[in-house]
């Protein structure tokens, strides 16, 4: 018999203990009622120590009902004792708002096998366990969750004292393109610009918001925005704009004449130059897997300016952060627009 589990099932021992206790009570002159009221406490394992997912984790979900999630925890003790046996199984509980506390059999019931020994001074002091849950129901995704777990002998469990927060997200929206319509420009007297995005999540994006920002930038001739940070006449307060909309003062790129702009520079804007913006709150929902879908269109009058002229338009999808996404850094996209 494996020495780790030699005392896992205390049922027969408890039966003998109860019989011995009953005999002792009878010898002491106590009646059947006293015997029946005597309470025998069945031992439980020590509570586990949760490791992963960490508190506040944001994890990828896959719909329909295809989410996988890896759990890791530690269990103290190298050998069981009569007062504290080693567990025979573990329960893992995923809980939504309003769900009851973690209790047997939990959301997942995991056998206490395959643990990796944990050593301290060359002595085994416990075991580390891993379990990957499969096909988690969609009722657990895109909402606030907590998780907890317990170590059990049969259905008798000791539970973690605190729950950890968790979010399983099926949302992943990318800003892809700043698309100008055919009738946008000085001839029509208006800008008409559409923000396009990919929905790389596994569910519809839902109604979100899209922010448009427009900067007046230096022009470098027909059809071009200025990208050379060393052109004479620029000053350190002017800003490089990259294709994700980042703005970097020229003074951070080195001394005049030796400035090095990022490879994704699309334009340079004068310090204190013109800027306009708007937020379209009811941007269109994109179905799962949609590529280059139209999210929102911005229309505004074209200013009275001398041509040629250049602008940069930056889009920011889900600007109000309605969605919980694994990667928020790809929600920006900026492009140069020139008119002559």
Tokens of 55: 């508190």
Q: What is the pLDDT of residue 70?
A: 98
Weakest-pLDDT range from 2-11, 84-93, 96-105, 148-157: 2-11
Give me the residue label for tokens 């929600």: 331
Tell me the mean pLDDT in the region 110-119. 95
- Eight-state DSSP code of residue 5: G
| Between 204 and 40, residue with greater pLDDT | 204
Examine residue 64 and say whether the peptide bond preceding it is cis (omega within 30 degrees of 0): yes
Q: What is the pLDDT of residue 340?
A: 85
Q: What is the pLDDT of residue 42?
A: 80
Looking at the predicted structure, is the pLDDT value of residue 12 above 90? no
Tell me the mean pLDDT in the region 8-31. 44
Looking at the predicted structure, is the pLDDT value of residue 186 above 50? yes
**Which structural domains are found in the chain, ordered by start?**
44-169 (2.60.40.10), 173-339 (2.60.40.10)
Q: Is the distance from CB of 283 to CB of 317 less than 8 angstroms?
A: yes
Categorize the per-residue pLDDT at 72 as very low, low, confident or very high, splitting at 50, 70 and 90. very high
- pLDDT of 229-278, one tens digit each? 999 999 999 999 999 999 999 999 999 999 999 999 999 999 988 899 99
Give me the residue label for tokens 């009851």: 100
Rounded CA separation 53/166 (Å)? 8
- 303 HSE (CA, 13 A, CB side): 13
Looking at the predicted structure, is the pLDDT value of residue 51 above 80? yes
In a 10 Å sphere around its CB, with 0-12 CB exposed, 13-18 middle and 19+ buried, how is residue 199 labelled?
A: buried
> What string of DSSP letters covers 162-214?
S-EEEEEE-B-EEEEEEEEPTT-BTTTTEEEEEEEEEE-SSS---SEEEEEEE
Looking at the predicted structure, is the pLDDT value of residue 108 above 60? yes
């Amino acid at each position: 018999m494996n020495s780790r589990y030699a005392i896992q099932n205390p049922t027969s021992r408890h039966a003998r203990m109860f019989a011995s206790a009953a005999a002792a009570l009878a010898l002491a002159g106590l009646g059947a009622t006293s015997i029946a009221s005597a309470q025998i406490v069945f031992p439980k394992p020590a509570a586990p120590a949760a490791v992963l997912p960490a508190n506040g984790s944001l994890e990828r979900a896959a719909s329909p009902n295809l989410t996988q999630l890896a759990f890791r925890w530690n269990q103290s003790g190298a050998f069981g004792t009569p007062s504290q046996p080693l567990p025979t199984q573990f329960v893992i509980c995923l809980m939504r708002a309003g769900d009851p506390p973690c209790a047997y059999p939990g959301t997942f019931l995991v056998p206490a096998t395959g643990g990796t020994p944990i050593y301290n001074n060359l002595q085994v002091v416990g075991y580390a366990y891993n379990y990957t849950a499969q096909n988690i129901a969609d009722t657990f995704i895109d909402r606030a969750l907590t998780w907890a777990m317990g170590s059990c002998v049969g259905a008798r469990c000791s539970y973690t004292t605190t729950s950890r927060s968790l979010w399983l997200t099926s949302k992943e929206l990318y800003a892809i393109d700043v698309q100008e319509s055919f009738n946008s420009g000085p001839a029509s007297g208006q800008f008409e610009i559409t923000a396009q995005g990919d929905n790389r999540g596994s569910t519809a994006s839902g109604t979100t918001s899209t922010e448009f920002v427009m900067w007046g930038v230096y022009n470098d001739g027909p059809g071009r925005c200025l990208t050379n940070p060393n052109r004479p006449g620029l000053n350190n307060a002017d800003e490089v704009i990259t294709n994700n909309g980042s703005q970097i003062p020229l003074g951070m790129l080195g001394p005049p004449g030796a400035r090095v702009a990022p490879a994704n520079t699309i334009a340079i804007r004068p310090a204190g130059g013109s800027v306009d913006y708007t937020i379209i709150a009811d941007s269109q929902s994109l179905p799962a897997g949609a590529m280059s879908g139209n999210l929102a269109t911005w229309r505004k009058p074209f200013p009275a300016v001398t041509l040629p002229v250049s602008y940069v338009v930056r889009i920011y999808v889900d600007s109000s952060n309605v969605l919980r996404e694994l990667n928020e850094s790809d929600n920006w996209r900026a492009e140069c627009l020139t008119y002559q």
